[in-house]
Every structure is written in C-alpha cells, then in structure tokens.
Structure 1
Amino acid sequence: MWWFTQGSCFLPFFLVVWSSTSFILSYLIALFRRDVDVLFPYISDAAANPPESCIFGLMTFVSACAGMATIYSRFKFVEKLSEETRVVNPQLNKTTLVLGILSCIGMCVVATFQETAVTAVHDVGALLFFVSGVLYILLQTVISYQAFPHESSITVCRVRLAVTVIASLAFFPTVICAFFVKQTDLHRVKDSKDYPFHVASAVCEWVVAFSFVCFFLTYIDDFKRFTLRVMTELG
C-alpha cells in the first residue's frame, strides 16, 4: 500500500502538491511569456493575464475545495478525539473550522477576480484568505498543544508553532507595505519610490502562502490514523 493512501492522508498530500503546483506553474508560464519580472512578483501578478490566469483560477478553485475537505476532516478528527479525551475545547474546534472555510472562500475570490480586472474585490478576497488563514493555523497550533500527546508528537507541535510564527510575522509586512505600493503595472520600475515596499510585500506574501502549505504538510501523519465514511439514513 502506498503511504499516501493510508487513512485519509491523501487529502493533505493532494492539497500540498496541488497548491504548490498552482503557484509555481502560473509563475513559470507568466515568466515564459514575460508577463512578469523574474524577481519579486506578487502571486496575483503571475495570474493576472491569460492563459496563466485561467490555469491559476481553475487550479486554485480545486485547491480551495481540497482545502475545505481537509479542514473539515481535521475538524471531525479533533471532534472525535475530544469526545474520548476531553482535551480540546469543542467551541475552539468549531471556531477553527469556520476560519478555515472563510480562508478557502477568500482563495476562491482571489482566483475568480483577477487583480487587474476587479482590484477591490480581489484585494478583499486576498485579505480574507490571509487573515483567516493565519488565524486558522494559529488556533490549530493551540489545539495541537492541547491534544498532546493524544494527537501529534511534540516535534510536530513545535514545527506547527514555528510555521505559525513565520506566517504571522510575514503577514504584517505583506499587508502594511502593500498600502504604500502605488504602481499597478505588472512590470515594476526599480527606481520608483514604492519599489522597496513592493519587494517587501511580495516576498512576505510568498512566505505566508508557502507557510500555509507547510502547515498542511504536518497533517499527513495524523491523517493516516483515521478514515471518514458517508452514511445514508432513510427516515
């Protein structure tokens, strides 16, 4: 049996691989077509023009669906664990589920409304994605420590904490510096006054995005321990 078919770990495995591919593939296509600069484009810059925007939109929608499935599966796992051990606050688990779903909805908005077409809606979606995403991994880290040692090892808890700290620290420059970026062209002028703000914001945006990817990577071992079944009952 392949390791990624054990339990439910195919969900986070697929999410990590697919999401990483969607970010990197759209960037490579945009780079090949010379739609963006080699260094420091926003993730959305690499998905602003067709055909990369079409590919990014489709792949990101699939990522959002996989993210919702993974987040819900994690919720049910923690819920079951809490029923047996009483170590995790059920309300905290539900709050984390809502934040995770909101983050996935934000991802769908970002994929559907390109930054050069409907900038305001795109920015709202991006803000929803990043804010909800950071809060989600923060609360999941809290849950991991609450559930220790019934759930993950102390090493996994520490890795999740480290990823959460990195994502949280990178989130603020992403948002704050973006307010000072006035240039809207995909090809940035290095001599412009707002270029340093763009570089800081764009680099931190990539850091936050791949922090989310790394966080879901830590789910794989936990997801080997359970399976989900759909039950149909006729009344």
Structure 2
Amino acid sequence: MAWFKQGLCFLPVFLVIWSSSTFIVAYIIAVFRHDVDIIFPYISDTGAKPPESCIFGLMTFISACAGTATMYARYKFVEKLSADTTVVNPRLNKTTFVFGLLSCLGMCIVATFQETTETVVHDIGALLFFTSGVLYIVLQSVMSYRAHPAGSSVAVCRVRSGVAVLAVLAFFPCVICAFIVPQNTLHRDEGDKDYPFHVASAVCEWIVAFSFICFFLTYIDDFKLFTIRVKTECEKRL
C-alpha cells in the first residue's frame, strides 16, 4: 500500500500542498500582472485584485476546509490517546482544537474581505488567523511532549517545538511592524522611511504562514496510525 493511503495521512499532505500552492499561485499571478512588487509583498497583497483575488479566495476557502478536517482528525486522535493513557488533559485538547478552528475562520475572513476594500475586517481576520494559528501549534507541541511515547517520537516533538518557536519569534515583529506601516498601497517605495518596517513585517508574515503550514507535515506519521469512521443510527418509528 502506498504510504499516502495509510490511515488518514492524506489529510495533512493535501493541506500542505494545497495551502502552499494557494500562496505561490496568487503571488505568481500578481507579479506577472504587475499588481504587486516582486520583492516582499504581503501575502494579502497578492490576493487583493482580480483575477488573483478570485483564485486566492477560492483556494484559501478550500485550505480552511482541509485545515478544519485535519485539525478535527488530530483532535480525535489525541482524545483517543487521552482516553487510553490519560497523558493529555481533555480540556487542553479541546482548547487547542478551538484555536485551530478560529485560525481557519480567520483564513476565510482574509480570503473574503480584500484589504483594499474592507481593510478593517480583513485585518481582524488576519490577526485572528495568525494569533490563533500560532497558539494552536504551540499547544500542539506541548501536547506532543505530554503524549510521548504514546504519541509522536522525540524527534517529531522537537521538530514541532522548533517550528512553533520560529512562528512565535516571527509573529511579534510581523504584527508590530504592520501597525507602523500604513496599508494603503500595493506598491512600496524603497525610499520611504517606513520601508524597513514593511520589509520586516512582510518577511515575518511569510515565515509565520509557512511555519503554520509546514507544521502539519509532522502529522503524517501519526495519521498513518488511525482512521475515523462515521456510525449511522436510525431510530425506529412506531
């Protein structure tokens, strides 16, 4: 059997490939149409104008759905580990899952409300996505260590922690510099005084986004070990 057919590992594989393609495809189209600068645009800038905004919105929505499915599968897997070994607090597992759902909701808001038309709503969605996403991978890293050795290997736990630390370190300059730089144009002038802040914010934004995406690569081995089945029960009517 091919490795991607084992258990549910196709979920994180699809999520990583599709989400990465979403950002890359939108960036290529936006650069080709000269809608953004080739160096250091914000991710949202690449999906601000049609037709890339349409593609970006559709692909991001699918990514959010795939993310929700993947996070739910992870939640049920940890729930099973907790029931068998009591190594992970069920409340912690539920809280982490809620943060994951909020990050997916933030993705949908970002994709639906472009920054050039609904800036405030777009920024709220972006902040929700990044904040909840970072908290999700941090808490997942904590749960991975608590579940060891019943869950992931030490190597996988260390990789998750490394990715989470990278995301946290990039998150703060991304948010702080974004508040300093005005979001009123898709093209930046290198001579502007706030250009260094824009570069720092944009670079950190890409780092946080791909750290969040690549984190799901660490789910592949775990997802080979289980499946989820839906049980249908019908009540008999008298």
TM-score w.r.t. the length of structure 2 is 0.98
What secondary structure sits across from 1:39 in the alignment?
coil
Q: Distance in 2 between matches of 1:233 and 1:127?
A: 41
- Residue of structure 2 equivalent to 1:138: 138
Q: Distance in 1 between matches of 2:124 and 2:185?
A: 19
- Residue of structure 1 equivalent to 2:203: 203
Q: Deviations over 1:57-97 (max 9, x none)?
A: 00000000000000000000000011111100000000001
What secondary structure sits across from 2:212 in the alignment?
helix
- Residue of structure 1 equivalent to 2:77: 77
Deviation (angstroms), 1:187: 0.8
Q: How many pairs were matched up?
A: 235
Aligned residue type for 2:49: N
Deviation (angstroms), 1:183: 5.2
Deviation (angstroms), 1:112: 0.3
> Could you say if the C-alpha distance between residues 104 and 184 of structure 1 is closer, same or farther in structure 2, counting changes exceeding 3 Å?
same
1:1-235 residue pairs with structure 2 within 5 A?
A: 1-182=1-182, 184-235=184-235
Aligned residue type for 2:66: A
Q: Deviations over 1:11-53 (max 9, x none)?
A: 1000000000000000000011111111000000011000100
Aligned residue type for 1:210: F
Q: Distance in 1 between matches of 2:95 and 2:23?
A: 28
Aligned residue type for 2:85: T
Indicate if the aligned counterparts of 1:23 and 1:56 stay in contact, CA closer than 8 A. yes
Q: Distance in 1 between matches of 2:54 and 2:67?
A: 20
What secondary structure sits across from 2:56 in the alignment?
helix
What secondary structure sits across from 1:129 in the alignment?
helix
Q: Deviations over 1:86-143 (max 9, x none)?
A: 1000000000010000000000000000000100000000000000000000100000
Q: Distance in 2 between matches of 1:5 and 1:32?
A: 37
Q: Distance in 1 between matches of 2:185 and 2:57?
A: 20
Q: Distance in 1 between matches of 2:5 and 2:105?
A: 27
What secondary structure sits across from 1:170 in the alignment?
helix
Aligned residue type for 2:106: G
Q: Distance in 2 between matches of 1:13 and 1:5?
A: 11
Q: Distance in 1 between matches of 2:121 and 2:229?
A: 37
Q: Distance in 1 between matches of 2:180 and 2:82?
A: 45
Q: Distance in 2 between matches of 1:232 and 1:183?
A: 50
Deviation (angstroms), 1:5: 1.3
What stretches of structure 1 move > 2 A for 4+ residues in a row? Answer: none
Q: Distance in 2 between matches of 1:29 and 1:3?
A: 33
Aligned residue type for 1:100: G
Identity %: 72
What secondary structure sits across from 1:25 in the alignment?
helix
Q: Distance in 2 between matches of 1:88 and 1:183?
A: 42
Indicate if the aligned counterparts of 1:183 and 1:194 stay in contact, CA closer than 8 A. no
Q: CA RMSD in A?
A: 0.6
Q: Distance in 2 between matches of 1:183 and 1:125?
A: 15
